[in-house]
Amino acid sequence: MMGNMDGMLQMVKQLQEQLRNMNVKVSAGNGAVQIIMNGNQEVVQIHFKPDVLENPSQLAQLTAEAFNEGMRESKKMVREELSKLTGGMNIPTIPGLV
């Protein structure tokens, strides 16, 4: 039993490393704000169109929208990769992954 748990923990660690190198790209406001986020839900890059910089409240709103969409897409990517790893077995949330 413990051997299986050690193997599963190794697989989770490998998946976390893989996800660090996988990205999703999302945008808000017709591309006014773009965010690239990796599979560990870390923001890798943020791009702003110059005109949105002139309106701080709009910039804040669009950045929040893009970030939230990035989180959704990143978590979806994690679930898909986890499903591949488990052969489609539906398992509960693994802390640190989703």
What CATH number is given to the structural domain containing 32? 3.30.1310.10
Q: What is the pLDDT of residue 97?
A: 54
**Domain span at residue 42?**
2-85
Q: Is residue 94 part of a domain?
A: no
Q: Does the predicted TM-score (pTM) go above 0.85?
A: no
Q: Is residue 22 part of a domain?
A: yes
Q: What is the pLDDT of residue 16?
A: 86
Q: What is the pLDDT of residue 1?
A: 46
Q: What SS3 state is found at 61?
A: helix
Tally of domains within the chain = 1
Q: Is residue 11 part of a domain?
A: yes
Q: Is residue 62 part of a domain?
A: yes
Give the span between the Cα atoms of 66 and 81, in whole angstroms. Answer: 22
Q: Is residue 38 part of a domain?
A: yes
**Which segments within the chain are labelled E, that is strand?**
23-28, 33-38, 43-48
Distances (CA, A) of 11 to 6, 15, 18, 43, 98: 9, 6, 10, 24, 15
Q: Is residue 47 part of a domain?
A: yes
- Write down how long the chain is: 98
Angle (CA) 45-50-52 rounded to 5° is: 90
Q: Is residue 97 part of a domain?
A: no
58-89 in b/e form (b: 16+ CB < 10 A) is: ebeebbebbbebbbebbbebbeebbeebeeee
Q: Is residue 58 part of a domain?
A: yes
- What token pair was written down for 2? 């413990």
Q: Which residues of the chain have pLDDT under 50?
A: 1
Q: What is the pLDDT of residue 6?
A: 79
